[in-house]
């Protein structure tokens, strides 16, 4: 770059940093938005059941029944409420006071003592299928634990077989937050990156400053670079803040190395900023730019990145679409780097995909932006 062009770029960069400093909206998008979303989703979205209100119907109280209910009271997953009749328990479930019912029939103690089958009734509120399955699994688990403990006390082998949900069996202590939060970071940074560039350029259109820039000697490449550099730094700052929240606040372990995380984040940030640049090539008002960014970046990242909805179980056509969602690759890298470590067979292909997507979006933005208004 010749000195005159360098001076133009420096002038634009200085302007951009002054604006970032004086108008807090960019800082809010980079730092406040990810922090707020991360806190809301991090605390609000959980695939674990904890403190589920559960009705325990004991039709004939006794020592055995008491030991069984105690098993539920000690479980962190349930908050049991005793009932004497199944009718009362059902009424409570209909009123959404309890999520499920565990029912010990009157012959429970007799049949258990006899050493045979001691069936218990489990009724789960199936309105939310996911919750229902989790509650059902937990109930089975508590029951299994109780049976095993009882068998051990009596010097018997554990009764088998038990049908138990694998997720519950292998991951009873680990909170689902540990794999949700890294995915969330990818989804949130998609929105942040796209909004940063889309909104600031739309603002220049709205205020007529873009028109004034275009008739100076500045080139489109310089204008785009002058947007990319400051907002890349800002976006990486937001990314660092999100990682800090994940590690320090949510206690998510970081198994891999920092520099892999930083490198992948940089590639991803370029892709997200590139999407924002591309959007601002079409949307010339901040309102429209914001709407488009939300619809074409945040929603696909949320639904199609595999951060919570498994890509493998989507219809084939939708699976293909997920390949153009940059967040998909970043989610894979983040979940690997946070939970499993530097798993190169995962990281390398996904990083390559991110680089390709970033190059495509930035290249498209470069061709869409011309020094003309039509």
> Measured from the CB of residue 23, what is the shortest distance to other proteins in angstroms?
5
Start-end of H helices in 283-340? 286-293, 299-304, 316-322, 326-335
> Measured from the CB of residue 7, what is the shortest distance to other proteins in angstroms?
5
> Measured from the CB of residue 296, what is the shortest distance to other proteins in angstroms?
22
> Measured from the CB of residue 347, what is the shortest distance to other proteins in angstroms?
41
Binding-site ranges for other proteins (CB under 8 A): 4, 7-8, 10-12, 14-15, 18-19, 22-23, 207-209, 211-218, 371-374
> Measured from the CB of residue 194, what is the shortest distance to other proteins in angstroms?
23
What are the angstrom distances between the C-alpha of 155 and each of 44, 65, 159, 231, 253? 44, 20, 12, 67, 40
Q: Please identify, using beta-carbon distances, which residue of 248 and 373 lies nearer to other proteins.
A: 373
Q: Please identify, using beta-carbon distances, which residue of 90 and 206 lies nearer to other proteins.
A: 206
Nearest CA to 74 among 46, 99, 54, 59? 54
- Which two three-digit tokens encode residue 251? 């206690």
Q: Please identify, using beta-carbon distances, which residue of 173 and 215 lies nearer to other proteins.
A: 215
Q: Please identify, using beta-carbon distances, which residue of 6 and 324 lies nearer to other proteins.
A: 6
> Measured from the CB of residue 15, what is the shortest distance to other proteins in angstroms?
5
∠ CA 139-145-151, nearest 5°, is: 135
Q: Which residues make beta-bridge pairs with 103?
A: 57, 121
Q: Please identify, using beta-carbon distances, which residue of 123 and 220 lies nearer to other proteins.
A: 220
Q: Which residues of 276-293 are buried (b: 16+ CB within 10 A; e: fewer)?
A: bbbbbbebbebeebbebb
Q: Please identify, using beta-carbon distances, which residue of 216 and 257 lies nearer to other proteins.
A: 216
> Measured from the CB of residue 210, what is the shortest distance to other proteins in angstroms?
9
Q: Which residues make beta-bridge pairs with 79?
A: 53
> Measured from the CB of residue 227, what is the shortest distance to other proteins in angstroms?
14
- Judge contact between 195 and 288, C-beta under 8 A: no
Q: Please identify, using beta-carbon distances, which residue of 227 and 328 lies nearer to other proteins.
A: 227
Q: Name every residue whose Cβ is closer than 8 Å to that of residue 67 and which is 6 or more positions away in sequence.
A: 146, 150
- Judge contact between 98 and 92, C-beta under 8 A: yes
Q: Please identify, using beta-carbon distances, which residue of 18 and 299 lies nearer to other proteins.
A: 18
Q: Which residues make beta-bridge pairs with 124?
A: 100
- Judge contact between 246 and 185, C-beta under 8 A: yes
344 CB burial (10 A radius; 0-12, 13-18, 19+): exposed
Q: Please identify, using beta-carbon distances, which residue of 282 and 344 lies nearer to other proteins.
A: 282
Start-end of H helices in 52-104? 63-74, 86-94
> Measured from the CB of residue 2, what is the shortest distance to other proteins in angstroms?
10
């Amino acid at each position: 770059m010749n000195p005159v062009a360098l001076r133009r770029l420096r002038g634009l960069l200085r302007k951009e940093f002054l604006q970032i400093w004086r108008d807090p909206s960019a800082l809010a998008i980079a730092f406040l938005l990810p922090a707020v979303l991360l806190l809301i989703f991090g605390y609000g979205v959980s695939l674990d059941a904890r403190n589920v209100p559960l009705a325990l119907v004991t039709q004939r109280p006794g020592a055995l029944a008491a030991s069984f209910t105690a098993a539920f009271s000690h479980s962190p997953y349930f908050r049991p409420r005793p009932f004497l009749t199944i009718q009362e328990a059902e009424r409570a479930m209909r009123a959404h006071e309890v999520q499920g019912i565990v029912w010990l029939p009157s012959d429970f103690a007799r049949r258990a003592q006899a050493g045979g089958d001691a069936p218990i009734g489990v009724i789960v509120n199936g309105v939310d299928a996911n919750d229902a399955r989790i509650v059902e699994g937990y109930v089975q688990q508590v029951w299994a634990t109780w049976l095993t403990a009882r068998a051990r006390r009596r010097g018997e082998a554990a009764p088998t077989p038990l049908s138990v949900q694998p997720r519950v069996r292998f991951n009873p202590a680990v909170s689902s937050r540990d794999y949700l939060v890294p995915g969330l970071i990818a989804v949130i940074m998609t929105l942040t990156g796209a909004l940063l560039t889309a909104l600031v350029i739309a603002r220049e259109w709205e205020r007529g400053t873009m028109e004034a820039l275009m008739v100076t000697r500045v080139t489109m490449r310089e204008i785009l670079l002058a947007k990319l550099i400051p907002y890349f730094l800002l976006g990486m700052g937001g990314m660092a803040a999100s990682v800090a929240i994940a590690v320090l606040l949510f206690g998510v372990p970081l198994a891999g190395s920092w520099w892999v995380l930083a490198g992948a984040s940089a590639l991803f940030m370029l892709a997200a900023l590139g999407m924002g640049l591309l959007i601002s090539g079409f949307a010339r008002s901040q309102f429209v730019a914001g709407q488009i960014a939300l619809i074409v970046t945040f929603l696909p990242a949320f639904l199609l990145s595999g951060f919570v909805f498994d890509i493998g179980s989507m219809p084939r056509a939708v699976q293909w679409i997920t390949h153009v969602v940059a967040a998909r690759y970043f989610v894979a890298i983040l979940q690997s780097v946070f939970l499993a470590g530097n798993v190169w067979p995962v990281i390398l292909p996904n990083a390559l995909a991110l680089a390709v997507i970033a190059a495509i979006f930035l290249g498209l933005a470069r061709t869409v932006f011309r020094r003309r208004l039509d």
